[in-house]
Chains A and B, each alone.
Chain A
Amino acid sequence: METSCLPRTPRIPCPNSRISVPGFPRIPGPRIPAGRDTERADMLRGLKAESNERGDAATVAGRVAARKALRTLLAQAPPENRASLLEYVEERAALLRLHARREGAVASFAPLAAGRGNALVKPSTGEVRREGCSCRYPGQLLNVGGYSDVLDAGGGTAQARSASKVGELAATATCACGVGNYVPTCNPEFFTTTSSSPSSATIMGVSATYLAGLGCAISGSQTATLVNMPREELVAARFKPLFIGNGCCSACAWNPYICAYDPCCDDPVCCGNRCLYNPNICSNDPACLPPPPPPPPPVCAHPSSFQLSQGTDIGGGTLHFDFGWGSSTGNLADLSSCTMGERVDYPFTPLPPPLPEVSPNNPTVINWTPTGGVAFDNHSTPGTFRTPYSDVTFTATQIYRYACPCVNGGNWVTIAGPFYITRSVSQNPNGSWKFTITENQGSASINPLP
Chain B
Amino acid sequence: MSDHFIDPFIAQLPALQILIPLLAAPLCVILHHRRTAWVLAMIASYCSLAIALLLLQQTSDGTVISYAMGNWAPPWGIEYRIDILSAFVLVIVSMVSSITLPYALRSLEKEVYDNKLYLLYAGWLVVLTGLLGMTITGDAFNVFVFLEISSLASYLIIALNRDRRALTAAFQYLLLGTVGASFILLGIGLLYQMTGTLNMADLAQRLPLVSHASGVRTAFAFLIVGLGIKAAIFPMHSWLAGAYRFAPSAVTVFLAGSATKVSIYLLLRFIYSIYGSELAFEQLHLSSILLPLALLSIVIPSMVAINQKSFKRLLAFSSISQIGYMVLGIAINNQAALSATILHLFNHAIIKAALFMSMGAVFYQISGHRIKSLAGLGHLMPFTFAAFILAGLSLIGVPLTAGFISKWYLVIGALNAGWWPVAALILFSSLLAVAYIWKIVEAAYFKPPLSPNTTGAIKEAPLSMLLPLYLLVTANIYFGLNTQWSVGTASKAAAMLLGGGQ
**Same complex:** no
